[in-house]
């Protein structure tokens, strides 16, 4: 019942490296809204909370970049115009070198462990004219860890969204969004070739949404729209790793679901 959105695409796991790092790169963020109650209908009727995260648009006038290095991670962000005053891009990436640090420690248990992650954000925004704008956003991340053993765990988030914003007048605008999200989780072991295996799971969704927003007055906004989501769930997939493995393949059948909604809401300040 918690919904986490990044540029209107769902993020299933919001953390890296056992929760020490957020899945969102702060260098690319524009604004973050947290709803703990009074969640509006356009978010799909969640009961607990909604975290709505939006990234910046790239610089339309000049190229620029920023970066940083910490004891565990490094990050780099670049942005600039593709067509000046019309089309821009924003690219941000982070990665960790904690594996190298673990190997420098005196503890044998820590030397035999691994913990790493990376994430990449890419945005393109295009101004068709004063009343029409296009926004394309993509995100990809992966975490992998193993704690003094032969079993490795990994998970990844991937999502993308395409948005078209049409401004009718200074009080009314519409927004059409199409999105894709996928979360995968895997467990693997190859220390013993006879029992080496890979077991993974995934959930993905395709979604489409159309919104209309009307500013009745400075303190009152009327919203309405419709949305649909198509889910695909892969409950489990067990496969042998290597030619010596005696593990028998076992694949569970995919499950599918469809959700649609029409909503109208009032927002008061």
pLDDT along the chain (269 residues), means of 10: 88 85 90 86 80 93 92 92 95 88 75 86 95 96 84 93 94 94 93 90 94 87 90 93 90 92 75
pTM of the model: 0.86
Per-residue pLDDT at 37: 80
Q: How far apart are CA 214 and CA 165, in angstroms?
A: 14
Per-residue pLDDT at 124: 97
Per-residue pLDDT at 28: 93
Per-residue pLDDT at 269: 55
141 and 175 Cβ atoms separated by less than 8 Å: no
E strand or H helix at 48, and its extent? none
Per-residue pLDDT at 174: 95
- Of 229, 231, 228, 230, whose CA–CA distance to 262 is shortest? 228
Report the SS3 class of residue 42: helix
Q: How far apart are CA 39 and CA 265, in angstroms?
A: 10
E strand or H helix at 111, and its extent? helix 108-111
Q: How far apart are CA 196 and CA 182, in angstroms?
A: 26
For residue 164, what are its two tokens? 């078209």
- Cα angle, residue 172 at apex, residues 81 and 265 outer, rounded to 5°: 115
Give the distance, in angstroms, between the CA of residue 99 and the centroid of all CA atoms in the same chain. 24
- Entry field: residues in the chain: 269
For residue 238, what are its two tokens? 């067990």
Q: How far apart are CA 169 and CA 215, in angstroms?
A: 10
In angstroms, the Cα distances linking 17 to 77, 95, 115, 148, 149 are 21, 11, 7, 16, 17
Per-residue pLDDT at 267: 66
Per-residue pLDDT at 151: 87
């Amino acid at each position: 019942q918690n919904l986490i959105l990044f540029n209107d695409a769902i993020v299933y796991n919001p953390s890296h490296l056992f929760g020490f790092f957020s899945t969102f790169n702060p260098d690319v963020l524009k604004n973050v809204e947290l709803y703990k109650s009074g969640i509006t209908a356009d978010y799909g009727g969640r009961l607990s909370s909604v975290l709505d995260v939006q990234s910046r648009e790239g610089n339309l006038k000049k190229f620029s970049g920023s970066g940083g290095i910490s004891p565990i991670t490094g990050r780099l962000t670049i942005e600039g115009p593709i067509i000046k005053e019309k089309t821009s891009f924003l690219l941000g990436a982070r990665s960790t070198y904690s594996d190298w640090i673990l190997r420098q420690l005196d503890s044998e248990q820590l030397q035999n462990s691994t913990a790493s992650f990376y994430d990449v954000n890419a945005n393109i925004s295009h101004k068709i004219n004063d009343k029409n704008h296009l926004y394309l956003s993509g995100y990809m991340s992966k975490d992998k860890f193993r704690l003094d053993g032969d079993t490795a765990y990994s998970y990844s988030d991937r999502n993308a969204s395409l948005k078209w914003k049409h401004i009718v007048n200074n009080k009314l605008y519409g927004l059409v969004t199409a999105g894709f999200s996928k979360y995968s989780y895997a467990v693997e072991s190859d220390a013993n070739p006879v029992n080496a295996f890979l077991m993974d799971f995934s959930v993905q969704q395709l979604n489409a949404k159309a919104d209309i927003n009307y500013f009745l007055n400075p303190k009152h906004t009327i919203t309405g729209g419709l949305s649909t989501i198509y889910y695909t769930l892969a409950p489990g997939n067990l496969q042998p790793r290597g030619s010596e493995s005696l593990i028998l393949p076992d694949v569970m059948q995919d499950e599918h679901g469809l959700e649609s909604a029409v909503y109208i809401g009032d927002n008061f300040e």
